Amino acid sequence: MKISHEVPFSLLEKSRKFNDYDYCLPHLLDQNEEYKNFFYESKKMGRYIIMDNSLHELGKAYDTDRLLHWVNELKPDEFIVPDVWEDCEGSIENAREWLNIDLPEETTKVVVVQAKNEEEALTCFYSYLNYGYKKIAISYGASWYNKICPHPNKDFGKAIGRFTFVNGLHHQDRIPKDVKLHLLGTSWPLEFGMYKNIPEIETIDTSNPIMAAIGEIPYHNLGLNAKPKANMNDFQDMSIESINIDLVEYNVEQFRKINNI
């Protein structure tokens, strides 16, 4: 599995040392010159780039015209087409529309499973397969995961719920051999170690160890018991002097260690 951790602007250069690829939020390309130049440089360096649609940060996918501008400008290796949070029908409709939108030849379109329950999630997943998509992302924070694992610790329950769903797809041979998965974020950092024997999972992204470090929380042997309350949106402009770099590096190292990655 290739891993990328989102970081504040001041840590962008350092992030290349511990990120396997660069994860791009397109709305920030329009807002911050430093961020934009970082991805121009990453492109020149030949680094792998996955571009999101900024749903998680904005509450809805970024403006379509701007998304198309940046996809055609940066030509990322992957682009996550607009989805709608916990809306199966809306996300399927978007995926259908984006089938007919031309992107750079080197850019793989990625679709995100969105649902309010497991039945809808399966409907969403199979619809994407029927459309011919070759990479599918699974989000981390959907409330229906807690129905699969109704644990008192909801963050833990969501992580186990997503694992149970993905593990079921794998062991029931529901994932074609030419289809890969991306895992969006996590509620519980130890989750990723459970996917070790599921080869369909190609990439993951999570800011968890970074946000924990910003909150001055060191990882223990099980990572964290709960998702950090801080949101990266509120800390993008942190100066490097106000960040505990040693703790960032420690948490990132521990993340890989506890997940045996």
Helices (H) and strands (E) in the chain, counts: 11, 8
Q: What is the pLDDT of residue 255?
A: 95
Q: Are 22 and 16 in contact (CB under 8 A)?
A: yes
- In this prediction, residue 90 has a pLDDT band, given cuts at 50, 70 and 90, of very high
Amino acid at 205: D
Q: What is the pLDDT of residue 221?
A: 84
| Pairwise CA distance, residues 249 & 261, whole Å | 15
Q: Are 79 and 110 in contact (CB under 8 A)?
A: yes
pLDDT score of 230 more than 70: no
pLDDT score of 47 more than 70: yes
> What tens digit of pLDDT does each residue of 172-188 get?
999 999 999 999 999 89
> What tens digit of pLDDT does each residue of 242-261 get?
999 999 999 999 999 999 98
Reading the block at residue 78, the tokens are 């992957």
> What tens digit of pLDDT does each residue of 65-81 get?
999 999 999 999 999 99
Mean pLDDT of 23-32: 97
What 3-state class would DSSP assign to 204? strand
Q: Return the half-sphere exposure (C-beta side, CA atoms, 13 A cut-off) of residue 253.
A: 7
pLDDT score of 229 more than 80: no
| Pairwise CA distance, residues 188 & 215, whole Å | 16
pLDDT score of 58 more than 70: yes
Amino acid at 3: I
At the fourth CATH level, the homologous superfamily of domain 2-205+234-243 is Aldolase class I (3.20.20.70)
Amino acid at 42: S
Q: What is the pTM of this model?
A: 0.95
Instruction: Name the β-bridge partners of 111.
Output: 136
Residue count of the chain, please give it. Answer: 261
Dihedral pair phi/psi, residue 236, rounded to 5°: -60, -35
Amino acid at 255: F
